[in-house]
Amino acid sequence: MKTLLCLAAQTAASLRGYFSKILGGLTAKPWGRILILPLLLLLLIMPATAASAQSATLSPREVVEYALTLEKLEADFYRVAVVAIKSGGLSSLPIRAKDAITSYGQDEAQHVVDLSAVLRSLGGNPDSVTIPANPNYDAILNRDPFAQPEDFLQALQYVEDTGVAAYKGQVQNLQAAGEAGKTVLAGALEIHTVEARHAAGIRYLRETFYGADVRPWIRDASEVLYNEDRSDNPIPFSDEAFDGYATREEVLKIVGPILAGK
């Protein structure tokens, strides 16, 4: 199977420089490529127009269904990790890392619960939002991400980064929905902040315990997903003070191999 980088490169060619910097000589480059510290305030003031980044406008219910899919995938990833921590390849993780992973996993599980309640309030059925019984997490690094602590944290960074970029990518759709989108937007921003904290925390663990050349903050524009100047960006991407976002279509291209299952 092609790695997720190969698939995502069709929509994110500008990330090549970032991955060569972060992953060095790896030839099976991973999927997420998303570094966080949001452009949230700027996105909130953008006009919701037909020229938005989404190829199709999503209703609040569709946004929640999409978010719930990603949250179920994240929660499952952490579930598998906790098992590997107790009796598998992740048992050698430092205790602080184990505690963080357990806590983050509880957060993701709560996100699933809360988004499920929101979806019901919109007339949807959270049980109809499903992920495979055995997601193909090997597609992230083109190998088992739960076999080695370093691989796991690297893969987890991209999992969390994807979540952050995905939430940012839906702000305009929820704005376009007017009153109907306000409640969903408020909830999405609450979750988005936690995902960003997780992403920074994972970087800290990678740097502190395994010497990875990453920081909790963005150091330059090459560490940002989709750092090109989109047509609806109010300012150019020129340095580490700004972060990009990903549309639903872009995210689903990235996570598609995982959702295909084994």
Given a cut of 80, whether residue 5 has pLDDT beyond it is: no
Confidence of residue 244 (pLDDT cuts 50, 70, 90): confident
Residue 37 sits in a domain of what CATH number? Answer: 1.20.1260.10
Closest by CA position to 31, among listed 167, 186, 142, 179: 142
pLDDT at 231: 72
Pairwise CA distance, residues 36 & 245, whole Å: 9
pLDDT at 227: 66
Pairwise CA distance, residues 148 & 92, whole Å: 9
Residues with Cβ within 8 Å of 134's Cβ and at least 6 positions away in sequence, in order, are: 261, 262
Dump pLDDT digits (tens) for 142-157.
999 999 999 999 999 9
Pairwise CA distance, residues 90 & 106, whole Å: 18
For the residues 239-248, what does the mean pLDDT come to? 80
**Residue keyed to tokens 């090459």:** 222
Given a cut of 50, whether residue 8 has pLDDT beyond it is: no
> What's the whole-number average pLDDT of the chain?
80
CB 129 within 8 A of CB 120: no
Confidence of residue 56 (pLDDT cuts 50, 70, 90): low
The least confident of 15-24, 82-91, 102-111 is: 15-24
Six token digits for residue 68: 């719930």
Closest by CA position to 199, among listed 139, 158, 169, 260: 158
> Which position has the higher pLDDT, 215 or 45?
215
- Chain Cα centroid distance, residue 188: 13
Pairwise CA distance, residues 158 & 133, whole Å: 21
Indicate the burial class of 229 (C-beta count within 10 angstroms; 0-12, 13-18, 19 or more). exposed
For the residues 5-9, what does the mean pLDDT come to? 35
The least confident of 80-89, 120-129, 147-156, 210-219 is: 210-219
Q: How many domains does the chain have?
A: 1
Dump pLDDT digits (tens) for 163-202.
999 999 999 999 999 999 999 999 999 999 999 999 999 9
For the residues 6-30, what does the mean pLDDT come to? 36
Closest by CA position to 202, among listed 25, 17, 32, 12: 32
Given a cut of 90, whether residue 25 has pLDDT beyond it is: no
> Which position has the higher pLDDT, 180 or 116?
116
Pairwise CA distance, residues 226 & 237, whole Å: 10
Inter-helix orientation angle 179-210/60-87, to 10°: 20
> Which position has the higher pLDDT, 79 or 241?
79
Number of C-alpha atoms within 13 angstroms, CB side, residue 66? 27
pLDDT at 226: 66
pLDDT at 1: 34
pLDDT at 67: 97
Judged by phi (left if over 0) then psi (alpha if -120 to 50, else beta), residue 3 lies in: beta
Structural domain boundaries enclosing 143: 4-259
Given a cut of 50, whether residue 128 has pLDDT beyond it is: yes
